[in-house]
Amino acid sequence: MAVKKKVKPGNKKVLKKAQDKKPTAKKTAGAGAGTDPKRVAAILAGLDAAYPDATCELNYANAFQLLIATILSAQCTDVRVNQVTQGLFKKYTTPEDFAYASPADLEKEIRPTGFFRNKTKSIIGASKGLIEKFGGHVPRTMEEILTLPGVARKTGNVVLGTAYGIASGIVVDTHVIRLSQRLDLTRNEDPKKIEQDLMKVIPESKWIKFSHQLIWHGRRVCSARKPKCAECNLEPLCYSKDKTE
């Protein structure tokens, strides 16, 4: 059972000043109107106050395990992925184990995560790619990691940022999409364009933690259907039409 965490209040003076500067731009695709530097700073301060220790919630022991776990996390909760990898990483311990595994056996192991056939192809393909191109080691650049089958920018950003501390971009998952739109930091729908919008307004030193903090906030407070606006310390900064009382 998840432990409910009380969200800490942000700096009220900073929030009030930022709240007064509401956007006036027309609703067109692109960066949101709420990207004034002072407002963005207030959002970051609120996230820091609420989630100072936010990090990736996937369980892993090394960069390779995080790569596999992130592939499995597509359209699946981290909780379910962690349940599956608990046994999976005991049975398959190296890239070679995954690369030359029986597809049928691997499918059975990861079936609870959904889309298990496609994920099996991605895992086997990525593992073979690591062996053939990188000596079995997960590369440290986005350009290299994107050459692996089944690996897109989201996965690359998770692995590079979490395992290596390399800020190559911002992780854009469903929570980041929803919250960045609600906070009017972007008006795009495409994850790649959203990432570019966020990278323009979020300081590079915050890229890694910012995505984790938004994901935590999305899971704990700013849910898709019934956001807990009364518990949200970013509520004064939020211009979303689907606020709740």
- Residues identified as active-site: 154, 173
Which residues lie closer than 8 Å to 176 by C-beta, 6 or more apart? Answer: 170, 194, 198, 211, 214, 215, 218
CA dihedral 156, 62, 93, 133 (to 10 degrees): 50
Structure tokens at 241: 């039409």
Give the angle 25-14-40 at the CA atoms, nearest 5°. 45
159: which DSSP letter? Answer: I
The alpha-carbon radius of gyration of the chain (Å, integer) is 19
